[in-house]
A and B are shown apart, each in its own frame.
Chain A
Amino acid sequence: MAFAAAFFYLFSAVAVAAAVMVIVSRNPVHSVLFLILTFFNAAGLFVLLGAEFLAMILVVVYVGAVAVLFLFVVMMLDIDFAELRAGILNYAPVGATIGLILLVELALVYSGWVLSPEAIEGITAPAEGDAGLTNTEALGQLLYTRYIYFFQMAGLVLLVAMIGAIVLTLRHKPGVRRQDIAAQVARTPETAIEVKQVKPGQGI
């Protein structure tokens, strides 16, 4: 138990520190890298909670896709982050207010647990399932049986999103040279080389 607690404090401390660094670091690339570090530590927290599926999804989706996309955007677009950051202190009161509200909400939730200990039992009702299943298996068994319809519909929505992105953005430019490996391999010395008789002193 103490071991788990130690890891909890490790992951949370690093996550909070990395989150702070996301905001304050000067170089936007560093910000994104700190964001990835935050995600990894949040995934560690999920593992401690026994939600290994969520942990892996967090790494795969947020680190693997979202954060890398951020990184691409940050590196490829010419954005002057110093300029964007110029007025950041003006927004400090708004940010502080939001932080304060979140803090109050957290305090309310926590005091709810303290005042009525039975309330916490209501939120920790695990989904029914066979004992000894990992939660990936348990989710899979529900998702592909009871919720098969919703799952398939979600798949269709994603298909439409993909078709839509291609319809609206893909342009076939004429005259673009593409690599044609078959044509390259099929070249013979006869088609590739032309022998010219060059008279001395004249050039081609």
Chain B
Amino acid sequence: MRNILTIADAAAALPEIALVTAAMALLMVGVFRSKPATDLVTSLSLFVLAATAALVMFSSSGTVDAFNGAFVVDTFARVMKVMVLFGSAITVTMSVHFMKLERIERFEYPILILLATAGMMAMISANDLIALYMGLELQSLSLYVLAAINRDSARSSEAGLKYFVLGAISSGMLLYGCSLIYGFTGVTSFAGIADTLKQGEAGIGLIFGLVFLIAGLAFKVSAVPFHMWTPDVYEGSPTPVTAFFAAAPKIAAIALFVRAMVTPFSSIASDWQQVIVFISIASMVLGAFAAIGQSNIKRLLAYSSIGHMGYALVGLAAGSAEGVRGVVIYMAIYLITTLGTFAFVLAMRRQTGALEEISDLSGLAQNNKMLAFILAMLMFSLAGIPPLAGFFGKYFVFLAAIKADLIWLAVIGVVSSVVSAYYYLNIIRVMYFEEPVDNFDSMPTELRMIIGASGIFVIVFVALAGPVIDVARAAANSLF
């Protein structure tokens, strides 16, 4: 009699199983509790995310394969999963206040975030084309619903619908690519594909499948030319949901992208590298130029995140352990800076409601010196100005690109980061040199703490860069 679920498999997937079981239990709490359960479910889900992060870190060590090789837990997976869980937890925390003020608080919101997080963890651990797709769908489907969660607002519904339709198209492309890869190798597991490719030359059919796979994944990380959904979805979704989109799913999608390229296709690296180089350059350049004309800060951050995905992909284009180390560092810094910036956007609120225009920031420095200073630091960091955190992220990916003889890629990256500095600095100019308008309403404690912590992180990153780099190196080495 074959076992239904072996102990070893269950142990490897323990954090995921715990997270999903807890999400279902919380769903029951929300449904059957007679009083409104949003607050209870929100705080419990924070606890669940923290407990899952602890399980991820301590429940396994080394590289563990489970479910016949469909699921892998290695240092890379653990690091990325902790980052994803951190991103989700912070987003849940900073949503509470906004959702209450906008009267869209619902207990399903944290539960959908939990389930999306489970999907992201499955993506990060995916070691098989089917596992890749199942994780991606679990995550995407939760995100479509989250985008439309403010269902009485036409913009939110539009964002959800747009995301859903375009996401379905990209899933279709991804599946088409997967089916071609399966057809030309005969296996779905990454290890099996790698073995098949080592034996013989990759046929044109396989390359064709690989390109479709990359197209599908590029959509999920919102890299050019599959980025069109990003500004509209970011602008239309409620701001905490936008913060979530910009943070955790990006980490998971980049992690999946890295693993799906490096593990099965390492022997045909030159074939996918040129595609990644193109996507990366296009994203960096578009992110730098398209954001200049934006007046809505959420749209601006959407273009900024497209650009940042381009920089992260520079590390993947290098195709080396060093490049992947750069990607991990870049994503860690991106995550914390983005969360801080979105916490700030959430704090932009006056009696009239939430504000989203850059002009609303006019003269902030005279009203609230500290807040303006931290936002300035975050913007400098996003622009990549030394000695702030963002500079080091870019430094490590460009270093890897130069070592991989992709010097002109690094040059284009530096040039586009100089261009993008224009719109980051423009925000600072508006804050410091324009006539002040009314002050913002005072913000809740949790936002204050998130903004503060994020500001401190970008400033003192120089001092704590050592351990971060070590962790990233260990993560990257576990893939090669």
Say whether A and B bind each other: yes
Which of A's residues lie within 8 Å of B, judged by CB?
Answer: 141, 144-146, 148-150, 153-154, 156-157, 159-161, 163-164, 166-168
**B67 contacts A160, C-beta separation under 8 Å:** no
Please indicate the chain A residues that have their CB under 8 angstroms from the CB of B24 in the complex.
159
Residues in chain B near residue A167, CB distance under 8 A: 106, 108, 112, 145, 149, 151
Q: For the complex, what is the distance from the CA of A161 to the CA of B119, rounded to whole Å? A: 13
A141 to B151, CA, bound (A): 42
The yes or no answer to B399 lying at the interface (CB within 8 A) is: no
- The answer to whether B67 touches A148 (Cβ under 8 A) is yes
- Which residues between 133 and 156 of chain B lie within 8 Å of chain A, taking CB atoms? 134-135, 137-138, 141-142, 144-145, 148-149, 151
In the complex, A141 Cα to B118 Cα: how many Å?
26
Q: A160 to B106, Cβ gap below 8 A?
A: no
Count of inter-chain pairs, beta carbons less than 8 A: 68
User: Is B389 an interface position by the 8 A CB rule?
Assistant: no
Cβ-neighbour of A141 out of B2, B66, B149, B160 (below 8 A): B2
B-side contacts of A150, CB under 8 Å: 70, 130-131, 134
B112 touches A156 (CB 8 A): no
| Interface size, B (range) | 35 or more
Known: A167-B106, A167-B145, A168-B151. A148 touches B137 (CB 8 A): no
Residue positions of B touching A, CB distance < 8 A: 2-5, 9, 13, 20, 24, 27, 66-68, 70-71, 106, 108, 111-112, 115, 118-119, 122, 130-131, 134-135, 137-138, 141-142, 144-145, 148-149, 151, 160
Q: List 7 A-B contacts (CB under 8 A).
A: A149-B67, A149-B131, A153-B134, A156-B119, A164-B144, A166-B108, A168-B148
When the two chains form their complex, are residues A144 and B4 in contact, meaning their CB atoms are under 8 A apart? yes
Shortest beta-carbon distance, B124 to chain A, in Å? 14
**CB-based contact A157/B138 at 8 Å:** yes
The verdict on A156 contacting B71 (CB below 8 Å), with A150-B134, A168-B148 known, is: no
**B131 and A160 contact, CB distance less than 8 A:** no
Main secondary structure of the interface of A (DSSP, over half): helix
Q: Are A160 and B134 in contact (CB under 8 A)?
A: no
Whole-angstrom distance from the CB of A148 to the nearest CB of chain B?
6
Find chain B residues with CB under 8 A from A145 CB.
2-4
B141 lies within 8 A of A160 (CB): yes
Cβ distance A19 to chain B, nearest Cβ, rounded Å: 26
A157 near B112 with CB under 8 A, answer no
Known contacts A145-B3, A150-B134, A167-B106; 5 further A-B pairs (Cβ under 8 A): A144-B4, A150-B70, A156-B20, A156-B119, A168-B145
Query: Which residues in B have their C-beta under 8 angstroms from that of A164?
Result: 112, 141-142, 144-145
Q: Are the C-beta atoms of B148 and A153 separated by less than 8 Å?
A: no
Closest 5 CB pairs of A and B: A164-B145, A153-B134, A149-B67, A145-B2, A167-B108
Inter-chain contact B137/A157, CB cutoff 8 Å? yes
Residues of the A chain whose Cβ atoms lie less than 8 Å from the Cβ of B137: 157
Give the Cβ gap from B120 to chain A, nearest Cβ, in Å. Answer: 12
